[in-house]
Amino acid sequence: MPELVFFSGTMDCGKSTLALQIGHNRSARGLQGVIFTRDDRAGEGKLSSRLGLVTEAVEAAEGMDLYGYVVDLLSRGGRVDYVIVDEAQFLAPEQIDQLARVVDDLGKDVFAFGITTDFRTRLFPGSQRLVELADRLEQLQVEALCWCGARATHNARTVGGEMVVAGAQVVVGDVNGPGDEVGYEVLCRRHHRRRVTAATAGASALSPDVLPVASD
C-alpha cells in the first residue's frame, strides 16, 4: 500500500542525504519520481545535502498545488512512481493535504523530510500537519550533537553567535552562519533553555568572571 511517510529530526541529522539516497535507490531500479523542495541552501529548485550532493528539484512555492502538479504531469504522459519532499516543514498545511491526496487518490508513495520544531521549539505548521496525517513517522537515527557532546534535540537561531528567541518563524540561514549573519545551531534541551551556544560557551570559558578566584 502507498504511504505518506514523514522523516523528521533536527538539523544536521542527515534528512536531505537520506532523501537523495531514497531517490537514487529508486532511480537505480528504473522508477521515476518528482522531487519537491522549498528554500534549499543551494538555491531555488535544488535539493542538497551538507555532504555536497545536489540534484535538481521542483520549487514548491507558496500557494503551489502539489497534487495538481503531479496530476498535470501524469495527464501529459509523464511517469511518477513516487514523490520526495525536502524541507517539508516550510509547506503550508493545505499543501500537506495535497500530498496525502497523491497517496490516496493516485496511489503514489510520498516521502517527506523536515524538522519538526522551529528555533522557539514551536511546531512548524507543515510539520504539525504531517504528524496529523502521515501513515508513518520516522525519527532519523543519525544523532546531531550539541557543542557539549550531548544529543542535540533543539534547533537554535543565532545572530553573531548569540541565540535569539524572537522573530519570523522562517528566516533563511545556514548552520553556524558567519559573523553577524543569521545562522542556526543544534543544541541539547538544557543549553537551548539556557541560551548557551558554542560561541557564547567559548566566551564564558574565557571570561574572568567564571575563573576560580584564589582566597587569601
Among the listed residues 158, 156, 110, 150, the one whose alpha carbon sits nearest the alpha carbon of residue 133? 110
Q: For residue 63, what pLDDT is reported?
A: 96
For residue 76, count other CB atoms closer than 10 A to its CB.
7
Distances (CA, A) of 92 to 40, 88, 111, 124, 138: 16, 9, 16, 9, 20
CATH architecture of the domain with residue range 1-142:
3-Layer(aba) Sandwich (3.40)
Domain 143-203 has CATH 3.30.450: no
Helix axes 125-133, 93-106, angle to 10 degrees: 30
Which pLDDT belongs to residue 205?
53
For the chain (216 residues), the mean pLDDT of every run of 10, in chain order, is: 92 80 92 91 74 83 97 96 95 98 98 91 95 93 83 88 83 56 88 92 55 42
Note the pLDDT of residue 210.
43
- Report pLDDT for 109: 97
pTM of the complete model = 0.77
Which residues are tagged catalytic?
A: 87
Domain spans in the chain, listed from the N-terminal domain onward:
1-142, 143-203
